[in-house]
Structure 1
Amino acid sequence: MRYNFRDIEKKWETYWQEYPEPTELAHKIGKKYYCLDMFPYPSGDGIHIGHWRAYVLADIYTRIKWLEGYHILHPMGWDAFGLPAENYAIKHGVPPQVSTAKNIANFKRQMKHIAAIWDWSKEINTTDPEYYKWTQWIFLKMFEVGLAYEAEVPINWCPSCLTGLANEEVVQGKCERCGTSVEQKELRQWMLKITEYANKLLEDLDKLNWPEKIKLMQRNWIGRSEGAQIIFKTTDIKTDKSIDLPIYTTRPDTIFGVTFIALSPLHPLVNKIVPEDRKEVVDNYCKLVKATLAFGRVPGDEKEKTGVFSGAYVLNPANDEYIPIYLSAYVLADYGTGMIMGVPAHDERDFEFALKFKLRRTQVIYCPDVKVDSQDNVNKPYMDDGPLVNSGQFNGLDAKTEGAKQIVDYLVKKGVAKCMVQYRMRDWVFSRQRYWGEPIPLVHCKKCGVVPIPEDQLPVELPVIKKYQPTGTGESPLATVYDWVNTSCPKCGGQAKRETNTMPQWAGSSWYFLRYPNPHLSDKPWDMKDMNYWLPVDLYIGGIEHAILHLLYARFYVKFLYDQGYLPFDEPFMRLFNQGMVLKYSEKSGQVEKMSKSKSNVVSPDKIVDTYGADVLRMYVMFMGPPELDCEWQDNGLEGIRRFIDKLWNYLTNAQNLVPKTAVEEAEVTKRVNRFVYDFQNRLEHMKPNTAISVMMELLNDLLSKDMQISCKSFEKIVVSLSVLAPHIASELLEKVLHKKLRECRWPVWDTVLLEEEKVTIVVQVNGKVRANLVARKGKEQPDIELDARALIGKWLADKEIVKVIFVQDKLINFVIE
């Protein structure tokens, strides 16, 4: 008989809506557990299969802790400001307030089917003025201490989204949201000085239980390096005064091999050093670079190097030689000091540049494999260590160790160098030239300058306007809302203008996890008691795409708030888990790819829920493969899960499969269910729900094939275990057979004594001779026993060919060798 999922799922979803599961059960143990899903952008037609995979995974671990007696916090909300929501509104020709509200309603309708024990009384929405009042408050706290500052800077500009982007929002030179190639544009921007926290952000990664891949991505993005800043001197062509060119290098040991200096074409010193006779050619090159620039790079960075001689020279402080200054696009304006010392003999890019412009390639680290011609030019670059040569008094020293140290000491004493730590990460471009975002709570007064809005006047609400589309002028659409823009200065009372740039979509999500414990507070963003009790988050689940965006920004916010005394902890998420993407074959491309409408390979969760039921979909998205890996969607996989649920329902609702009240469950059955509980929970503990489902399938096969009758106690253990995967059917089974609600149950525990009784001693032989005894679980299959046995008798099998393996389950394994 087929399980009637439609009626049963509708029944329980209605029940849970009317009687939500409590956050703490009667058998409470006095501990808390805060499990958090990354809240969604309500910017599409609805949630997709990827959402289901993440949300079901988080729900499994919340439910386990809940049944164990933990006080749980599992909230949900909406990351509703920013580009995703605004672009959706523009595409559909409706105001973002309308489209966002409509999308949220649809998302909630769909999410009801997931049956996660979200506490909807904690729901937040980043576009709610009562929420973004505190987003603005945090910004003002940063402004007070100088972490928020205004600057005219070259930024990444998306010509499609018509707004500036943070470096973290640019992937391989393209906008992270729309994929358009990014340009450079100089604009007035509000910046957050995240670089002030670079070292803390880097060092504290070690104390987090995060995937190593994510930690490595953040380490690389922060990009800490140790080196020296060395001063090269040139002349200002207008004043004839000396100009310092400070260059940061991690290889001070190669300074005697510097044969040119290269500046970014965007460097502000260019106009000061280029003589009149080189001005036209240099200007033309700089215009070319600016026209083709994408994320600080041009095509020449990847293949052929481009550049132009500036006409100026600089003095090498190590050997007092004059060397030429070039401008080249492979030098990034926003990295280091925007200039590099060219060492062609020991850097691959410098070598390519020197070849093209016929510059000297002087060897200063010896390598026998490198050939040097009659002009002392090397035939290839050498980047490893070795003894210094052509380096004056430092010849013979090991380059990267003692050589580097003594050269830096020498230059420091000359007053032309200092040791320095540098970071690749740059300050966060925080303002956006868009409408749909939190207004920045500042005004510009001619008399007082930039003035913060007083806290008692927050929030500065986003006005409702008709023309919300981006202008492309470098200003937000808010700039034309004169009634809103023109205001009075909070400081002097004179005329002032509001800041018209808005905050990025990351502003609200950088602290939302702090608001969840008490989202209805009106006089403060959070309560310190809640922070001490609930935070940090115990388990955070979401996609890897946020590694250097949200996850980095949230850590920065928390560290700032901790330093200011507003929080009792300095890391937001102690454990992080990244689920993989769900892929599907696309007939258009002929490849297995990420689901998207353009590839016609999208699977609708609504249709699956209607055809198979929510529990089947919950179990299938967990059964597809290890949750941390990308996996391929297969429609026939749903059928397999449905057949399993039908078989399980039929077995558990058949009274003949239950031990009569007057009888006792057979010992073999008790041990089998006990083994199931142990194996099932062990797999879940190691974040392997896919194999946990396999364990449940194996149990059902044994129960059916051996005509096992189970007691009510075993029934409850099986069904409560099932409930974390398929709560609808589990709730129905508990009520139908045991007349209990899930909230009255406990998470099953296994009996260690019974597990010990299951163990057997297996004789391990080689050519019939006993070589070891192996203690193993009763019923363990040959492949597993063979693996364990090989580890015990490796020395007798070394360099031998195994002709045959004789296996007698639970008794003997014999390796026959030649």
Structure 2
Amino acid sequence: MGLNFSEYESKWQKKWAEAKAFQAETTSAKPKYYALDMFPYPSGSGLHIGHMASYTPGDIVSRYKRVNGFNVLHPMGYDAFGLPAEQYAIQTGIHPAITTDKAIASFRKTLQSFGFSFDWSREISTCEPKYYKWTQFIFLKLYERGLAYQKEVPVNWCPALKTVLANDEVIDGKSERGGHPVIRVPMKQWMLKITDYAERLLNDLDKVDWPERTKEAQRNWIGKSEGARITFKIEGESETFEVFTTRPDTLFGVTFMVMAPEHPLVKKITSQPQHAAVEDYVLATSRKSEVDRKATTDKTGVFTGAHALHPITGEKIEIWIADYVLTDYGTGAIMAVPGHDARDFEFAKKFNLPVKRVLSPAASGGGEGGDELPFEGEGTLVNSDFLNGLSKAEAIKKMLSHLESKKLGIREVQYKLRDWLFSRQRYWGEPFPIVNFPKAGQLGVPVNELPVMLPEVADYEPSDSGEAPLAKIADWVNYAGKPGFGEGEQGRRETDTMPGAAGSSWYFLRYIDPNNDKAPFSPDAEKYWMPVDLYVGGPEHTVGHLLYSRFWMKVLFDVGLVTHDEPFKKLAHQGMILGPDGQKMSKSRGNVISPEEIAKTHGADSIRTFISFMGPLDTDKPWSPTGIDGVKRFLDRVGRLVVTDDGQYVATKDALPPATEKLLHKTIKKVTEDIESMSFNTAIAAMMILVNDLYKAECRSELALKPLTQILAPFAPHLAEELWEKLGGTGLCSLAPWPKYDSTLCADDTVTIGVQVNGKMRGTIELGVTASEEEALAAAKEVSTVAAVLAGKNPDKVIYKAGKILNLIVK
């Protein structure tokens, strides 16, 4: 019999495990390489083809770096806390830990069956007490530095799920899980002060090798703005309110104010005739998610009946409420300049509010559409008192000075980034290591009491009012004070739990020292392994996980626990694997591809290699049944160069034909460079060309087959190991030093250059790389299009650089 993938794949997986082939050395004189994949959430539905697309690139690079002399850390774990397991527990009564452990076992089995070279001795799960002990420890560090606090804030509350949802868990006003209505309500929540790090998070993007689109998305999310905070008085009231604007130069163009419906002054300033309308509008807004409010194009609002006073002119300005203004963006109120802002203009037109021009394009040389309002281009100030005739920059500077001198406003830098809402009214999450005492106040538990264990509960449902399930466990909630910690008092534990993003914000640090029970990681391990050299994962985590991880790393740097303040040196995003119909895979479309089913017929190596061959790493690619058939045929052809289908060993010890030897070295060079640049599809294409040449030349020499096997190994490791063994290779192919190429053999003997006549391209010729000018001219005259222009004459001048250019000058 020939080679049977169903036999040799399991064979080599067992041998790798027995040899502990992929375990990273704790300390080593070798240079380190830390390759990390975004770890999965262990759901009961198992791994899908998208996971394979995510984990294959990092494994290729890890295998390549390992055989190039690096001490490689390539770990795997599970982002195991979260809502899906809890909802399943509510429905079935089965503890989330049980379903999570079952899912993890299934994931581990699948990952191992695909030959990923993970260091399984470092496997972690964020829901294990020995892990979340240190998540709680890091939270205490945040708390000690004043970066964790409680505040009443508007949240996305799902009555059906009885929990707070993050913005990305709400779609069109409904929960992503279950499609239940979501409303906005104020609740006391734990917050993390990520805004204190906004400037560093922005500036330090210049330190990392990330896709530019990802860095730009983070810059936009952080959203730095320079402007003024201006104070407005309210007619007949003692209170004032503030707005932030990047365009203080347009202050004379303000014709109305808009507050968020939740603004704390709305109830107080609303006039009696407007009370019912305002109350109805506030209630309607509470049923909309923040995402829906930001996305809406239909402008709605209600007049409060109150007026603000213009800070300079004293003019009365109506105060409205509208759902497009959010209370936790800026100050929760805006000054509307409808003459020069499209959104304000639409609102003004709908509610018949005044519009003023304070910018004139004509005075600055005119501009397209400048006579129409709204005008949002550059212009000169008009109808603006002491600003008239000034440019935008000049007017901003003068207005800022005026506001500060009159104590009407201050210069300010603001960010769109808001503090991280860090509470969940759920069971399946990390308990907060906080106790509230009547006299001693709110205290972080002593480190020697960590972890604060998640207790058993009778049921997993929060109360209708939103109190978390842990609140029902009296003997857990009630805490007896002790010397130095609430002595003589009865304390109460925090009953909310942390969000799923807590454990994933530092897991890359736990991998470097996963069994340490004295600290989250040792200083020596951190200094050696960090930062992560290559991080692979989807772009959907750009402004969530990737931003949160950077924030936690910077806090840990400031605390002195780490020596680097950026966690991920290089980031790569894999494209999405689409269904064969070109659509995103989903059960409802019936286009989901199961990697385990494909592996039964084609083998794990075929899937790994096909994923790599489908196209550039970062592009979305449709699954092609015929495409994977072709890749399997390619791997089968490689195998038959060594062993025929009837089991005969046919490799030889013959010398290589010169042309084949040259192509072999060029292929090694190409694959080496392509793995370094993560251009996997072109690396495989180069190997396909080499295999075709070997068949054409009837060459089965071990001198070609051994290095071919080695450069194929990162993509198809099981087949490579089987061939390496049969070819008499020493040890494991997965650990054999990467083949070297001879650069002299990689050089081309001939080169194609263009022929120009009087600077105009007329054709191409193929020459030896060191051909003389006479040889180049003779070859050019044989090109019909060149000969036609020369018309039998010799050129008056020849400009020739060997291997680069030939330009014939004819007068």
Structure 2 length normalisation: TM-score?
A: 0.89
Match of 1:799 in 2: none
1:392 paired to 2:385: yes
Residue 174 of structure 1: how far off its partner (Å): 5.4
Q: Is the 8 A contact 2:710 2:739 kept in 1?
A: yes
- 2:87 maps to a residue whose letter is N
Match of 1:431 in 2: 423
Q: Is the 8 A contact 1:183 1:295 kept in 2?
A: no
Residue 611 of structure 1: how far off its partner (Å): 1.3
User: Which piece of structure 1 moves more, 338-347 or 170-179?
Assistant: 170-179
CA 1:634/1:709 → structure 2, altered by over 3 Å: closer, same or farther? Answer: closer
> Please, which runs of 5 or more residues in structure 1 have no aligned partner?
371-376, 586-590, 779-788, 790-795, 797-809
Could you say what secondary structure the match of 2:298 adopts? coil
CA 1:171/1:200 → structure 2, altered by over 3 Å: closer, same or farther? Answer: farther
Residue 294 of structure 1: how far off its partner (Å): 1.6
Q: Measure, in 1, the Cα distance between the counterparts of 2:55 and 2:753.
A: 44
Q: Is the 8 A contact 2:90 2:459 kept in 1?
A: no
Residue 576 of structure 1: how far off its partner (Å): 0.5
1:553-564 alignment runs, 5 A limit: 553-564=548-559
Match of 1:324 in 2: 318
CA 1:233/1:296 → structure 2, altered by over 3 Å: closer, same or farther? Answer: farther
Could you say what secondary structure the match of 1:728 adopts? helix
Match of 1:754 in 2: 745
Residue 574 of structure 1: how far off its partner (Å): 0.6
1:540-619 alignment runs, 5 A limit: 540-585=535-580, 592-619=582-609
**Residue number among 622, 634, 646 corresponding to 2:636 in the alignment:** 646
1:668 paired to 2:642: no
Residue 265 of structure 1: how far off its partner (Å): 1.3
Residue 491 of structure 1: how far off its partner (Å): 1.9
Q: Deviations over 1:183-215 (max 9, x none)?
A: 211111111111111111111111111111111
Q: Is the 8 A contact 2:675 2:683 kept in 1?
A: yes
**Residue number among 255, 268, 278 corresponding to 1:282 in the alignment:** 278
- 1:285 maps to a residue whose letter is Y
1:509-548 alignment runs, 5 A limit: 509-548=504-543
**Residue number among 398, 404, 413 corresponding to 1:412 in the alignment:** 404
1:175-214 alignment runs, 5 A limit: 175=175, 182-214=182-214
Q: Measure, in 2, the Cα distance between the counterparts of 1:132 and 1:580.
A: 32
1:123-272 alignment runs, 5 A limit: 123-167=123-167, 169-170=169-170, 175=175, 182-235=182-235, 240-241=237-238, 243-272=239-268
1:688 paired to 2:675: no
CA 1:666/1:154 → structure 2, altered by over 3 Å: closer, same or farther? Answer: same
- 2:108 maps to a residue whose letter is K
Residue 713 of structure 1: how far off its partner (Å): 3.7
Match of 1:97 in 2: 97
Match of 1:373 in 2: none
Q: Measure, in 2, the Cα distance between the counterparts of 1:472 and 1:593.
A: 39
> Please, which runs of 5 or more residues in structure 2 have no aligned partner?
365-369, 770-779, 781-786, 788-802
- 1:56 maps to a residue whose letter is T
Q: Measure, in 2, the Cα distance between the counterparts of 1:215 and 1:630.
A: 20
Q: Measure, in 2, the Cα distance between the counterparts of 1:363 and 1:10.
A: 75
Match of 1:807 in 2: none
**Residue number among 378, 399, 403 corresponding to 2:395 in the alignment:** 403
Q: Measure, in 2, the Cα distance between the counterparts of 1:83 and 1:314.
A: 45
Q: Is the 8 A contact 1:158 1:175 kept in 2?
A: yes
Q: Is the 8 A contact 1:363 1:378 kept in 2?
A: no
Could you say what secondary structure the match of 2:669 adopts? helix
CA 1:205/1:481 → structure 2, altered by over 3 Å: closer, same or farther? Answer: same
Could you say what secondary structure the match of 2:67 adopts? helix
Match of 2:477 in 1: 485
Match of 1:624 in 2: 614
Q: Is the 8 A contact 1:167 1:428 kept in 2?
A: no
CA 1:212/1:761 → structure 2, altered by over 3 Å: closer, same or farther? Answer: closer
Q: Measure, in 1, the Cα distance between the counterparts of 2:348 and 2:140.
A: 49
Match of 2:450 in 1: 458
Residue 756 of structure 1: how far off its partner (Å): 2.5
CA 1:560/1:367 → structure 2, altered by over 3 Å: closer, same or farther? Answer: same
Match of 1:806 in 2: none
Q: Measure, in 2, the Cα distance between the counterparts of 1:224 and 1:640.
A: 50
Could you say what secondary structure the match of 1:536 adopts? coil
CA 1:456/1:775 → structure 2, altered by over 3 Å: closer, same or farther? Answer: farther
Q: Deviations over 1:686-731 (max 9, x none)?
A: 2211121111111111111122343x34322111101000111100
Could you say what secondary structure the match of 1:421 adopts? strand
Could you say what secondary structure the match of 1:246 adopts? strand
Q: Measure, in 2, the Cα distance between the counterparts of 1:726 and 1:759.
A: 34
Match of 1:802 in 2: none
CA 1:515/1:770 → structure 2, altered by over 3 Å: closer, same or farther? Answer: closer
**Residue number among 491, 494, 506 corresponding to 1:496 in the alignment:** 491
Could you say what secondary structure the match of 2:435 adopts? strand
- 1:479 maps to a residue whose letter is A
- 1:388 maps to a residue whose letter is L
Q: Deviations over 1:446-486 (max 9, x none)?
A: 22222211111110100122311344431111111122112
Q: Measure, in 2, the Cα distance between the counterparts of 1:86 and 1:728.
A: 38
**Residue number among 370, 380, 386 corresponding to 2:373 in the alignment:** 380
Match of 1:474 in 2: 466
1:57-136 alignment runs, 5 A limit: 57-90=57-90, 93-136=93-136
**Residue number among 335, 354, 359 corresponding to 2:329 in the alignment:** 335
Q: Deviations over 1:253-310 (max 9, x none)?
A: 11010011111111001122223343333223323322x32217549x7343222222
- 1:464 maps to a residue whose letter is E
CA 1:24/1:297 → structure 2, altered by over 3 Å: closer, same or farther? Answer: closer
Q: Is the 8 A contact 1:361 1:378 kept in 2?
A: no
Q: Is the 8 A contact 1:221 1:548 kept in 2?
A: yes
Q: Measure, in 2, the Cα distance between the counterparts of 1:146 and 1:536.
A: 26
Q: Measure, in 1, the Cα distance between the counterparts of 2:91 and 2:697.
A: 60
Q: Measure, in 2, the Cα distance between the counterparts of 1:693 and 1:430.
A: 45
Match of 1:706 in 2: 697
Residue 369 of structure 1: how far off its partner (Å): 12
- 1:572 maps to a residue whose letter is P
Q: Deviations over 1:774-811 (max 9, x none)?
A: 89999xxxxxxxxxx9xxxxxx9xxxxxxxxxxxxx99
1:52 paired to 2:52: yes
CA 1:270/1:765 → structure 2, altered by over 3 Å: closer, same or farther? Answer: closer
CA 1:774/1:510 → structure 2, altered by over 3 Å: closer, same or farther? Answer: farther
Residue 165 of structure 1: how far off its partner (Å): 2.9
Q: Deviations over 1:494-543 (max 9, x none)?
A: 21221110010011110111111111111111101111100000000111
CA 1:163/1:222 → structure 2, altered by over 3 Å: closer, same or farther? Answer: same
Residue 234 of structure 1: how far off its partner (Å): 1.3
Could you say what secondary structure the match of 1:450 adopts? strand
Q: Is the 8 A contact 2:43 2:103 kept in 1?
A: yes
Match of 2:350 in 1: 356
Could you say what secondary structure the match of 2:710 adopts? helix
CA 1:228/1:744 → structure 2, altered by over 3 Å: closer, same or farther? Answer: closer
For this pair of structures, how many residues does the alignment match? 765
Could you say what secondary structure the match of 1:333 adopts? coil
Structure 1 length normalisation: TM-score?
A: 0.88
User: Which piece of structure 1 moves more, 360-369 or 186-195?
Assistant: 360-369
Q: Measure, in 2, the Cα distance between the counterparts of 1:264 and 1:336.
A: 11
**Residue number among 704, 707, 721 corresponding to 1:717 in the alignment:** 707
Q: Is the 8 A contact 1:42 1:85 kept in 2?
A: no
Q: Is the 8 A contact 2:721 2:734 kept in 1?
A: no
1:20 paired to 2:20: yes
- 1:246 maps to a residue whose letter is E
Q: Is the 8 A contact 2:35 2:532 kept in 1?
A: yes
